[in-house]
Amino acid sequence: MTTMRALGVAAAATTVFILQASMALAQDGTPPAVDGAATAWVLTSSALVLFMCLPALALFYGGLVSARNVLSVFTQCAAIACVGSLLWLALGYSLAFGDGGSFNTLIGGFGKVMLAGVEPASQVGRLPETVFFLFQLTFATITPVLIVGAYPERMNFGPALAFSGLWLLLVYVPVTHWIWGGGWMATLGVLDFAGGIVVHTTAGVSALVIAIMLGARRGFPRETRPPHNPGMTYSGAAMLWVGWFGFNGGSALAADGSAGMAIIVTHTAAAAASLTWMAIEWVRFGRPSMVGLVTGTIAGLATVTPASGYVGPWGGLVCGVAGGAVCFEAVQIVKMRLKIDDSLDVFAVHGVGGMLGSLLLAGLMLPSLGGLGLKNGISALDQLGLQAMGVAVTALWSVVATFIIMRALRLFSPLRVTQQDEIEGLDLTIHGERAYEL
């Protein structure tokens, strides 16, 4: 299997191109030997990504809500990860990466339902297919968990679980197939190394739709609700920062210099965005907050994600500075001007960051900036057009599908808790537990 760098210089390949190229048989008709180092690294990366969606996101989000709703956020994160895991095994993986026959440009098929036909010896390139399945499973679980930040403290638990499952199958799986599974966007040349479109655009845009349809929390925006435990939020952000190395570095699907560079630019972007956000907050409000600093961290990580395998250190720096500044302004616009209670800024940080990075990579891939280079015959402007189209179509699909899912669920169950439940907190009224004995 050629390295990610060689593929990028030769053809600016997307992840799906890597998979398709690596699936080819050797000249003698036998599959390539399993790469033990790559297998070990992707297994490790899978653990790092799962670490992000279980303790890390739960702590990051939990620290930002009120003390009466911490356990409800923890429970949502854990339960949604479980739902996503089982759905990915049962159907999602097959639809995302299976052969859809005459419909393959739009969606995969049912040939790998419950991993049918996937044997221990089955391979995806030089990886065991079971390892590739596991790595993709962690992406499928963390993406709907990201959306939890749009509706804490006010959405009923049952509808939240039902929404997450339906959203995974109707939004995440098709977009994954379009870009990473050999679908129409991959054919056109849309690039997304580790999920700026597949993960962050889908989750961010859908979060905004949910926040609008569900309505604001009681008292918003008149009452300010400071995070109940900023230290918890910092702990979660620190875990996410490290876990993101598996998110982006693991997407190289190899234990080589490509994975190393992806991690370097990821770390660079996180550091640059953290300082950028802090500096803007310091100048504008007179105080550099810790929550602002780590929110900038997540903005930088989301922004560099789609570009991480295609750019060099300068690209990581640009993604970080741009992500910190643009996402900061997006938070102000969504909450202060539009008065939309996207409670934990999923759209402004993940959505805007993912879309921004997906557009920036078109220019940052140029060799003059340390990038891997574009496909022969493709200019940076051409690639920008492809990226913009991919972002726009994905955002539109996410809006329409999310709206339909929410309206359908409303027919069967109230989406929002009662006013009394909201006052008392969901920890006790929904789950019968308390995070703290006050």
> Could you read off the pLDDT of 240-256 as tens digits, one per residue?
999 999 999 999 999 99
Q: What is the domain range of residue 99?
A: 42-431
Q: Determine, yes or no, domain membership for 79.
A: yes
Tell me the DSSP string of 367-381. GGGT---PPTT--HH
For residue 9, is it within any domain?
no
Q: Which of 210, 23, 41, 193 is nearest to 99 (CA)?
A: 23
* pLDDT given at position 30: 67
How far lies 219's CA from each of 228, 341, 422, 423, in Å?
17, 11, 11, 11
Closest CA to 64 of 280, 253, 217: 217
Residue 6 has pLDDT above 60, yes or no: no
Give residue 352's Cα distance to chain centre. 12
Does residue 6 belong to any structural domain of this protein? no
At 290-331, the pLDDT tens digits run 999 999 999 999 999 999 999 999 999 999 999 999 999 999
Least confident of 207-211, 218-222, 379-383: 218-222
Return the SS3 of 123. strand
Q: Count CB-CB contacts under 10 A for residue 355.
A: 28
pTM: 0.93
Q: Which 8-state DSSP code applies to residue 337? A: I
Determine, yes or no, domain membership for 31. no
Q: Is 191 helix (H, G, I), strand (E, B) or coil?
A: coil
Find the CATH number of the domain harbouring 232.
1.10.3430.10
Exposure string (b/e) for 396-421, b if CB count within 10 Å is 16 or more? Answer: ebbeebbeebbeebeeeeebbbeeeb
How many Cβ atoms are within 10 Å of 333's Cβ, its own excluded? Answer: 12
Q: Check if the beta carbon of residue 383 is closer than 8 Å to that of residue 189.
A: yes
Domain annotation covers residue 13: no
Query: What's the number of domains the chain is made of?
Result: 1
Tell whether 139 is covered by a domain: yes
Q: Which of 1, 6, 49 is nearest to 26 (CA)?
A: 1
CB 184 within 8 A of CB 390: no
Q: CB 366: neighbour CB atoms within 10 A?
A: 18
Q: Are 94 and 110 within 8 A, CB to CB?
A: yes
The fraction of the chain above a pLDDT of 70, given in percent, is 93
Lowest mean pLDDT among 126-140, 273-287, 368-382, 414-428: 368-382
Is position 437 within any domain?
Answer: no
Query: Whole-number mean pLDDT of the chain?
Result: 92
